[in-house]
Amino acid sequence: MLNDIKKTISLYLKSKINLDEAQIYNLLEVPKVYEHGHLSLPLFQMAKLEKTNPMELAKNLQAQIEKEYSEKLGSEKLGSEELQSKNRINYGIEKVQAVGGYLNITLQSSFFQENVVSGILSKKQIGFSQEGVGQKVAVDFSSPNVAKPMHVGHLRATMIGNAICNLAESQGYEVLSINHLGDWGSQFGKLAWAYKQWGSEYDFSERPIDAFLKIYIRFHEEAEKDPTLVQKGTEQFRRLEEGDLETRQIWELIIKYSMADFSRLYKILGIHHKFVLGESFYNDKLEDVVQRLKDKNLLQESEGAQVVFFDEKENMPPCLIKKSDGASIYATRDLAAAIYRHEEMKAHKLLYVVGQDQTLHFKQVFRVLEKMGYEWAKEMFHITFGLYRFKDGKLSTRQGKIVLFEDILNQSMDLVREMIEEKNPNLNHKELVTQQVAIGAVIFNDLVNDRSKNVEFDWDRAISIEGDSGPYVQYTVVRCRSLMRKFGKPVKESFETLLQSPEEQKLLFRLLQLDHVLKISFNHFKPNFLAQYLLEVCSDFSHFYHAHRILGESEAIESSRMTLVLATEKILTQGLQILGIPTPDEM
Partner RNA sequence: GCGGCCGUAGCUCAGUUGGAUAGAGUACCUGACUACGAAUCAGGUGGUCGGUGGUUCAAGUCCUCCCGGCCGCACCA
Q: Is 582 in the site for RNA (CB under 7 A)?
A: no
Of residues 330 through 349, those in contact with RNA by CB under 7 A are: 330, 333
- Quick one: 304 or 373, whose CB is closer to RNA? 304
Q: Is 213 in the site for RNA (CB under 7 A)?
A: no
Using CB under 7 A, pick the residue from 52, 53, 118, 302 that binds RNA: 302
Amino acid at 424: N
Q: Radius of gyration over alpha carbons of the chain, in Å?
A: 29
**Residue 262 CB, nearest distance to RNA (Å)?**
15
What totals of helices (H) and strands (E) does the chain contain, helices first?
Answer: 22, 14
Using CB under 7 A, pick the residue from 44, 69, 390, 457 that binds RNA: 44
- Quick one: 201 or 287, whose CB is closer to RNA? 287
Q: Determine the Cα–Cα distance for residues 495 and 556; give it in Å rounded to an integer.
A: 8
Q: Is 298 in the site for RNA (CB under 7 A)?
A: no
Q: Is 450 in the site for RNA (CB under 7 A)?
A: yes
Residue 234 half-sphere exposure, CB side, CA atoms within 13 Å? 13
**Residue 31 CB, nearest distance to RNA (Å)?**
4
Q: Determine the Cα–Cα distance for residues 315 and 298; give it in Å rounded to an integer.
A: 17
Q: Is 407 in the site for RNA (CB under 7 A)?
A: no
Q: Determine the Cα–Cα distance for residues 66 and 153; give it in Å rounded to an integer.
A: 57
Contact 480, 570 (CB under 8 A): no
**Residue 99 CB, nearest distance to RNA (Å)?**
4
**Residue 549 CB, nearest distance to RNA (Å)?**
4
Q: Is 479 in the site for RNA (CB under 7 A)?
A: yes
Of residues 253 through 292, those in contact with RNA by CB under 7 A are: 279
Q: Is 212 in the site for RNA (CB under 7 A)?
A: no
Q: Is 37 in the site for RNA (CB under 7 A)?
A: yes
Q: Is 373 in the site for RNA (CB under 7 A)?
A: no
**Residue 585 CB, nearest distance to RNA (Å)?**
7
Q: Which residues on neighbouring strands pair with residue 396, listed in sequence order?
A: 401
Q: Is 367 in the site for RNA (CB under 7 A)?
A: no
Using CB under 7 A, pick the residue from 60, 109, 197, 356 that binds RNA: 356
- Quick one: 58 or 369, whose CB is closer to RNA? 58
User: In sequence order, what DSSP letters do the residues of 250-276 get, joined into one string?
Assistant: HHHHHHHHHHHHHHHHHHHHT---SEE
Using CB under 7 A, pick the residue from 529, 530, 534, 560 that binds RNA: 529
Q: Determine the Cα–Cα distance for residues 346 and 79; give it in Å rounded to an integer.
A: 56
Q: Determine the Cα–Cα distance for residues 38 and 6; give it in Å rounded to an integer.
A: 10
Q: Is 138 helix (H, G, I), strand (E, B) or coil?
A: strand
By DSSP bridging, strand 305-308 and strand 299-302 are: antiparallel
Q: Is 62 in the site for RNA (CB under 7 A)?
A: no
**Residue 132 CB, nearest distance to RNA (Å)?**
18
Q: Determine the Cα–Cα distance for residues 295 and 373; give it in Å rounded to an integer.
A: 12
Of residues 77 through 106, those in contact with RNA by CB under 7 A are: 99-102, 104
Using CB under 7 A, pick the residue from 195, 262, 472, 495 that binds RNA: 472
Task: Enumerate the H helices of 488-526 as residue ranges.
Answer: 502-511, 514-523
Using CB under 7 A, pick the residue from 149, 161, 185, 527 that binds RNA: 185
Q: Which residues on neighbouring strands pair with residue 151, listed in sequence order?
A: 404
**Residue 286 CB, nearest distance to RNA (Å)?**
11
**Residue 264 CB, nearest distance to RNA (Å)?**
22
Q: Determine the Cα–Cα distance for residues 506 and 511; give it in Å rounded to an integer.
A: 9
Question: How many chain residues touch RNA (CB under 7 A)?
Answer: 106
- Quick one: 8 or 204, whose CB is closer to RNA? 8
**Residue 242 CB, nearest distance to RNA (Å)?**
15
**Residue 388 CB, nearest distance to RNA (Å)?**
10
- Quick one: 169 or 279, whose CB is closer to RNA? 279
**Residue 419 CB, nearest distance to RNA (Å)?**
4
∠ CA 350-356-362 to the nearest 5 degrees? 45
Beta strands (DSSP E) in 83-189 are 93-99, 102-107, 136-140, 174-179
Interhelix angle 109-116/555-579, rounded to 10 degrees, is 60
Using CB under 7 A, pick the residue from 389, 390, 407, 492 that binds RNA: 389
Q: Is 488 in the site for RNA (CB under 7 A)?
A: no
Burial of 8 (0-12, 13-18, 19+ CB in 10 A): middle
Q: Which window, 10-18, 133-141, 414-422, 575-583, contacts RNA (CB under 7 A)? A: 414-422
Q: Which window, 3-11, 35-43, 66-74, 191-199, contacts RNA (CB under 7 A)? A: 35-43
Q: Is 436 in the site for RNA (CB under 7 A)?
A: no
Q: Determine the Cα–Cα distance for residues 88 and 56; give it in Å rounded to an integer.
A: 28
**Residue 85 CB, nearest distance to RNA (Å)?**
28
Of residues 215 through 244, those in contact with RNA by CB under 7 A are: 234
Number of neighbours of residue 526 by Cβ within 10 angstroms: 21
- Quick one: 136 or 354, whose CB is closer to RNA? 354
- Quick one: 136 or 420, whose CB is closer to RNA? 420
Q: Residue 97: phi, psi to the nearest 5? A: -145, 130
The site map against RNA for 104-133 (x = CB under 7 A) is x-----------------------------
Q: Determine the Cα–Cα distance for residues 504 and 541; give it in Å rounded to an integer.
A: 8
User: In sequence order, what DSSP letters do the residues of 523-557 get, joined into one string?
Assistant: HTT-HHHHHHHHHHHHHHHHHHHHH---TTS-HHH
